[in-house]
Structures are given as structure tokens and as C-alpha cells.
Amino acid sequence: MTWVPTGLRARLVITFLLVAVTASAMVAGLGYQIIRRGLLEHAERGAVADVRETLSRITLPIGASDVVWPSDTTVTDEDLGGVVQALEAPERTVIVTYGDHQSSNAGARFTMTDVPDQLRWQAARRLVHQRVLLRDRPWLIVATQIQRAARDGVLRPTGLTAYVFVPLSEEQAVLSRLKAALAQAGGITLVLAVTLALLSARRVLLPVRRLGAAARALGAGELQVRLPVRGRDELAELTATFNETAAALEDTVSELRTMESMSRRFVADVSHELRTPLTAMTAVTDMLSEDAEDLPDDAGEAVRIVVREIDRLRVLVEHLIEISRFDAGAATLRRETVDVGDALADCLEMRGWADRVKLTVPVGLTFSLDARRFDVIVANLVGNALNHGAPPVVVSARVAVGGENHGALEVTVRDHGSGIPEEVLPHVFDRFYKAGTDRARSVGSGLGLAIAKANAELHGGSITAERCDPGTLFRVWIPKQ
């Protein structure tokens, strides 16, 4: 798996380093090649000039002829040795050949087998030189056939061929020191490049980090956050744009909060104002409902409709008042140790559901919770199951052992009806949401499950809904305190 840097800081540093290292390597490489070429060419020119000057000064063993020819037997090994002695120098190897004769200096390191064939062929016509690597060391071979002017002034070959091995050790040492110096310079350049890259990245990314921190603070609700604008570059423009956006968002959110507060206050005020006339209307309808059977059919039906709608309106007002407390943050939790079985039985008994619901609770199960809010949770879930599900409705409770919910109270409410459609499940806890047109005029307010969820979350718990075969299962989790 190849690691790819994803952070802007890493990419800036790597890019800066790549540019710096590439530029440094190119400069060092070109400089080394130029110096190497110049140094070696200077060494070659010096060696060739020395050999040429030496050959021009030496006296050849000419004998009776104008020029020494290869067939002339007057040239001896001593004569060749004289030529070798004239050309030799410290660390040099000199080989002089004349026909089948060959002579070299004392301590010679090389023989004619070390001379390249092409160099021998070229040396028969002119003075040539070639750099070679022998015994892991660089050498310069200067080769030429010695020529002399005859009495008529024409240059003619003497038959003598000289091969001079000039060491390039000093030049190689200079180049090695140059490599080391360039490597040290490259290392220093790399360190400087890293330092400059980090400083540059910090200078460039510091405003970006500040913008990121400010954006996170803005997302967390700190709408008053602003950043100082420094400079006139693109980052300064971005900072100014952020400040303008934050100011506009603060104004918008402030306006929305004001409108929301007014809306909540309006709902709460209307709900409270409706409670008094509803109380009086409920008392009147209770009296009317007792005499509904004695009234004519139309009048009796009208009374029953009024009673039903007033009862529905009463439930809606109570739920609106309750939900407005949660919206205003006025809902509080008063925990106490409660016998869960008794609390569930009382909830069902008070509402006349005891004979319609099967209750399964371990004997002596106690838990720390707010009894009133727990009653609201269970009443809304059981009421929903009775109104929109089918019997039997089963309520059970237990304390979970093991797993991520260890020690939490689990309460389940299940009916055996047709079940809530899969596409509806994500919305069952939304306010005023009713699944299907058949529930549009049901006795429910559309707030019961939302209130149950709010009370569970006030305990630090949660409610989930899931389809069963058949029916729907609501599961309440309340963590231990």
C-alpha cells in the first residue's frame, strides 16, 4: 500500500523539498561535470605537452642513416632504455617499442597488453591519448610514433613508438574531495530546505488553521467568532469573506431564534389560554353526554361528536403544553428509586388498559428514574399500540446484563397488528406525523411519540421502533444513573 500525503502541510513541505533537492542536484551535477571535464582536460593537456616537449629534446640513436628504420640493427635495448629514461617520471610507466624490441622503465606496472588495440593503431599515425581504468585507478595513456626531420626537411617516422602511462590519482582525489564537498553542501541545503519549508508552511497554513478553528467554533454555535484580517493577499480576502459570512449568519440565526422564541411563546400562551375554556367545555359536555341517549338521533350524534372533538382538543392542548416545556428547556428530571412493575401496573390501571395489555416484569425490579415522566413514556407507547395496532399488546421490562447497555433498563411494547410500514419508521417520532390517511382524524395528537422520545432522552436514554412479524416493537433504553 503506497502512502500518499493528504495534509496540506505535508504536501507543501514535500513539494518544497522536491524543488530544492532537484535544483540542488542539478546545480551540483552540472558543476561537478564542468569541473571534472576542465580538470581532466587540463591534466591531459599538461601530460601531452610534457611528452611532446620531452620527445622533441631527446637524441635518437640514428647511427649511419638519416632515420632509424625498423630493419636497422644498430638500435639496441640500451638505446631504447635511454628514450624510456628521458620520458619517465614518478609513478609513470613508460614503454618504448622498436620492431620486435621493447623496453620499459624499472617497476613498470603495465605491459603492452594493457594498451587498447585502437590506441596502438592510431599511435602509428599521430600522437593520441586516452583515459583508461587500470587496476581500479584512472590513468592517461599518451602514445605516439616518434618522427624526425630528414636532411630534406620531411618528417619521417623513426620506427620508435612510445607509450606513457600518466597517473590521474591526484585529479581523482580532487574529484573525490569535490564530491564529498558537494554532498555536504547538498546535506546543508536539504536541512535549510526542510527548515524553510516548515517555516513557509507554518506561515501559509497558520491563517488556514485559524479559519478552520473559527469554522468549527461557528459550527458549534459560537456565532460571534471573528478573525483579524492581515495583509492583502488571497488568504486575507478569504478571512474577510469568512467574517462577513459569520456576521450574516449571526444576524440570520438571531432573527430565527427570535422568531422561534416568539412561536414557542405563542404556542404556550395559546395552550394555556385554551385550558380554561376547555375545562368548562369538558364539564358541560360531561353533562350533555349523560343526556345524549335521551336526545333525538341527530342531536345525540351531534353531542357525541362535540364530546369526542373536545376530548381530542384537550389531549392536543395538554401535549402542546408539555412539548413547549421541552422546547423552552424547562423540563426537569426528578429521579427516585421506583418499583418498575408497580409503575407499569399503575399506568395501565389508571387508564383502564390492565385487561387489554399483557405485562411481563420480574418481581422486585427497581430502577432509578422519574416516575411521572416514565408513566408518560409508557402511556404514549401503549396507547399508540392499542389505537393503531392489534392485540395482544405485550409490555415487558428487564435490566440488561452484558453488552454496551449493561445495567440499563429495557422496556418493550409490542402489538400484533399489521405493523408500521418500513418507509415510515424513520418518521414515527416526528411531531404531528401520522402514518397513512386513516390516522389523519384519529384521537391522537401526533405528538405522543415525540413526547415519549423527549422524556426518554431527558433520562439520557433512547427509543427505537422496529417491524416484527407481526406488529411493531418499541424499545426504550434508560441507562443507570
The pLDDT, as a whole number, for residue 423 is 84
Summarize the confidence of residues 109-130 as an average pLDDT. Answer: 89
Confidence check: pLDDT of 183 > 60 = yes
Judged on CB neighbours under 10 Å (0-12, 13-18, 19+), 365 is middle
Averaged confidence pLDDT in the chain = 82
Summarize the confidence of residues 182-199 as an average pLDDT. Answer: 83
Summarised one tens digit per residue, pLDDT across range 285-341 is 777 777 666 667 777 778 778 777 777 777 777 777 777 777 767 778 889 999 999
Dist CA 132 CA 138 (whole Å): 6
Domains of the chain, each with CATH number or no CATH:
1-57+171-217 (no CATH), 59-167 (3.30.450), 235-327 (1.10.287.130), 336-478 (3.30.565.10)
The pLDDT, as a whole number, for residue 64 is 33
The pLDDT, as a whole number, for residue 316 is 75
Q: 63 pLDDT band (50/70/90 cuts)?
A: very low
Three-state DSSP class for residue 200? helix
pTM summary value: 0.47
The gap between the terminal CA atoms of the chain, to the nearest Å, is 47
CB 419 within 8 A of CB 329: no
Contacts 24+ apart (CB under 8 A), 139-145: 139/165, 139/166, 139/167, 139/168, 140/43, 140/44, 140/47, 140/165, 140/166, 140/167, 140/168, 141/115, 141/116, 141/165, 141/166, 142/47, 142/48, 142/51, 142/166, 143/115, 143/119, 144/51, 144/52, 144/55
Q: 1 pLDDT band (50/70/90 cuts)?
A: very low
Q: In the sheet that 357-360 helps form, which strands lie side by side, from edge to edge?
A: 357-360, 393-399, 409-414, 472-478, 462-467
Confidence check: pLDDT of 403 > 70 = yes
Residue 47: partners with Cβ closer than 8 Å, 6 or more residues away: 129, 140, 142, 164, 166
Dist CA 458 CA 325 (whole Å): 12
Please count the CA atoms within 13 angstroms of the CA of 147 that sit on its side-chain side: 13
Contacts 24+ apart (CB under 8 A), 438-447: 439/388, 442/387, 442/388, 443/308, 443/311, 443/312, 443/315, 443/387, 444/315, 444/383, 444/384, 444/387, 445/312, 445/315, 445/316, 445/319, 445/320, 447/316, 447/319, 447/320, 447/322, 447/323
Q: 70 pLDDT band (50/70/90 cuts)?
A: very low
Dist CA 159 CA 99 (whole Å): 7
What sections of 220-293 are H helices per DSSP? Answer: 234-291
Summarize the confidence of residues 168-185 as an average pLDDT. Answer: 88
